[in-house]
Chain A
Amino acid sequence: EAQVTQNPRYLITVTGKKLTVTCSQNMNHEYMSWYRQDPGLGLRQIYYSMNVEVTDKGDVPEGYKVSRKEKRNFPLILESPSPNQTSLYFCASSLWSGQAQETQYFGPGTRLLVL
């Protein structure tokens, strides 16, 4: 089954404690990205990757890191989480047409609470 998986689904942590949210897709998609969703602000892109070893900042990259060592995986790293990073996070993947993203496939989401 074609899917994007994220782990963990729920996470409560404390300020400053490094964490990683994993993302994996099985569709051989070139393009992967991370979004955060906050009430009243909608979905905003954090980082994206157009292929292995190619990553770039989205609209709200501060406080986050990513890596793309393998095509299927795109982990999101919070080196020193702060309460303003409390949010619902989504990983997504898609084909890249050469001009724009095609249909995005979203993971189930990771709900993060930073105390």
Chain B
Amino acid sequence: SQQGEEDPQALSIQEGENATMNCSYKTSINNLQWYRQNSGRGLVHLILIRSNEREKHSGRLRVTLDTSKKSSSLLITASRAADTASYFCATPPGGGADGLTFGKGTHLIIQP
């Protein structure tokens, strides 16, 4: 099954700065989804971007999708301590019902 891979694996920034995380995948997709996970807790959906979309915003979050490069990025602007979490991209397999394939995530630390 295809796989999303996040980059970097870990990121530490100061509060107020912007954080950018990247995701690459291997095959064609129907949509790409970003999730956040606070330590040991359930995943929370952030944004779903469809294959025919190039950019999507939600509050301080901005997601871009480049299907020609098979990559996506998640930008968090004006970061806050509460943004400290792991962030995952996930893709459902094209044309199939198999589960979302998750990358191993980017662990983001926001330092006050």
User: In the complex, how many residues of chain B place their beta carbon closer than 8 angstroms to a beta carbon of chain A?
Assistant: 26
Pick the contact of B99: A58, A88, A105 (CB < 8 A). A58
A residues with a Cβ closer than 8 A to B are: 31, 33, 35, 40-43, 45, 48, 50, 56, 58-59, 88, 90, 92, 96-97, 99-109, 111
**A40 partner residues in chain B, CB cutoff 8 A:** 104
Mask: chain B, 26-47; 1 = CB below 8 Å from A; 0 = not: 0000110101000011111100
- Is there contact, CB below 8 Å, between B45 and A103? yes
- Is there contact, CB below 8 Å, between A100 and B94? yes
Majority-rule SS of A interface residues:
strand
- A115–B102 Cα distance when bound, in Å, is 28
New A-B pairs, 7, CB < 8 Å, besides A43-B43, A100-B30: A31-B97, A42-B103, A42-B105, A43-B102, A58-B99, A101-B100, A102-B31
- Is there contact, CB below 8 Å, between B97 and A103? no
- A90 to B, closest residue via Cβ: B42
In the assembled complex, the CB of B30 is this many whole angstroms from the nearest CB of chain A, namely 4
- Is there contact, CB below 8 Å, between B99 and A45? yes
In the assembled complex, the CB of B4 is this many whole angstroms from the nearest CB of chain A, namely 10
Query: B41, B44, B98: which has the most chain A beta carbons within 10 Å?
Result: B98
- A105–B46 Cα distance when bound, in Å, is 11
- A107–B41 Cα distance when bound, in Å, is 9
